[in-house]
Copies of this chain bind each other. A is one copy, B any other.
C-alpha cells in the first residue's frame, strides 16, 4: 500500500483559498482538495475549473476527512469557523488560517492543533476567478504558533505552504501584527487616503484623470482591494495600525516642513535616507 494521499479542506474558496487549492494541485495532482463555501457559485466555479475535488456548503461535512483544514474566510469569521472545524475534524487533523492579523485569533484559538498563518501575498482582486496557481511562489508565509500549538501541527502547516511554493518564517503573533501594520496595513491606509485626496483634488482640476501617471497608479493600486476585508483588518489591528500611521504622519510632517520652509538641504537628507532604506528592503533575503 502506498502513502495515502493528503486531504486538504479549504473553507472559503476566494482569492487566497482558490489560489492555495490551485498551488497544491499543481504540486501534486493526487492531493484531495475539499472546498467549503457558503456561496454555491464559488463552489460551482471552483469545481468546474478543477481547483477542488469535493464541494460542501457545511463546514462539518467538508472537514470530516481532512488532514489539514485551512480557514480562508474573511478575518472576522476565522475564530468561529476554526472552532467548529477543530470540533468536527478528526483528532489528528490540523487547523490553520490565512488571516492578515494574528494576535487576537491565536489568543482565541489556544489549541495544540491550531496554527496561525498569514501568507504575505494577494492581489487587489477577490473571488475564485482571481485565483492564481503561482500566487505564493517565492513569497513568505508567517507562521505564528500559540503557546499550546504542537510541534507536529506547525510542521504540517509549514509543509503545506512549502508545497504551495511559499517560504515559512515563524514569528510571535503580536510581533506579526506590528510588522504587517508597517509593511501592509499602513501602505493600504495611505493608498486609500491618497485615492480619496486625488478624488477631491480632481473637483478643482479637470483633466486630472486620464493622464495616467505611473506614480499615482502604482501607489493606489491596492486601494481597489476588498473593502470589507480591509475594514476588518483595520478594526482587528487597530492599535498597531494607529501606531504605524502616527510614525508616518511624523515623517510626512518633516517633509512638509522642509517643502514649506524651502529647506533644500533637509529634503536632500530625507531623500538620501529613503534610497538607503529602499536598498535595504530590496537587498533583504
Contact = CB atoms under 8 A, between A and B. Distances in A.
Interface string A188-220: 111111111111111011011111111111111
A63 interface: no
Q: Which of A183, A249, A255 has the most CB of B within 10 A?
A: A183
Contacts of A219: 187, 190-191, 218-219, 222
A247 interface: yes
Q: How many copies does the complex hold?
A: 2
Interface stretch (A2-10, A87-95, A233-241): A233-241
Given A234-B259, A244-B197, A216 B268 contact: no
A171 B245 contact: no
Report the interface size class on chain A. 35 or more
A123 B172 CA distance: 38
Contacts of A196: 251, 254-255, 270, 273-274, 277
A139 interface: yes
Contacts of A211: 120, 140, 142, 169, 179, 183
- Going nearest first, the 8 A-B pairs with the smallest beta carbon separation are A210-B284, A227-B271, A209-B284, A193-B252, A197-B248, A199-B277, A196-B251, A182-B201
